[in-house]
Amino acid sequence: QVQLVESGGGLVQAGGSLRLSCAASGSIVGIVSMGWYRQAPEKQRELVATVIFGGATHYQDSVKGRFTISRDNAKNTVYLQMNSLKPEDTAVYYCNLNDIGRHYWGQGTQVTVSS
């Protein structure tokens, strides 16, 4: 089994910054990608950013230039640096790991941006 432990969420004013972390452990076979998704109330879960094994990254258009995803391969940890936060970034953020086609999810961490 694979476990994902997230940390770093919280309450911040608009324009502020937060850094999310997600550490993966357990019976990991081969990480294809790690990433972050978010779900706001009454909305579907959406992709925020991903980083694949080779290091390439992909971002949702609304966070480009503000969020940066990075990964520490030795620690199986992924980070999401979020700058210039906006109220519309408020959501529960979930870490995702793609382990050769099997997807695992963290428990979610709340990010609230006040105006």
Cα–Cα dist 10/7, whole Å: 9
Q: Could you give the dihedral angle defined by the CA atoms of residues 95, 91, 46 and 63, in that order, rounded to the nearest 10 degrees?
A: -90
Both tokens of 81, joined, read 């640096």
pLDDT tens, position by position, 58-80: 999 999 999 999 999 889 999 99
Mean pLDDT score, 18-36: 94
Establish how many alpha carbons lie within 13 A of residue 107's alpha carbon, considering only the half-sphere containing its beta carbon: 7
Mean pLDDT score, 24-52: 95
What percent of the chain has pLDDT above 70? 100
| Burial of 45: CB neighbours in 10 Å, binned 0-12, 13-18, 19+ | middle
Mean pLDDT score, 24-44: 94
CA 77 to chain centre: 11
Mean pLDDT score, 48-66: 95
Mean pLDDT score, 37-63: 95
At 90, is the pLDDT very low, low, confident or very high (cuts 50, 70, 90)? very high
- Give the pLDDT of residue 31: 86
Angle at 11 between CA 68 and CA 108, to 5 degrees: 65
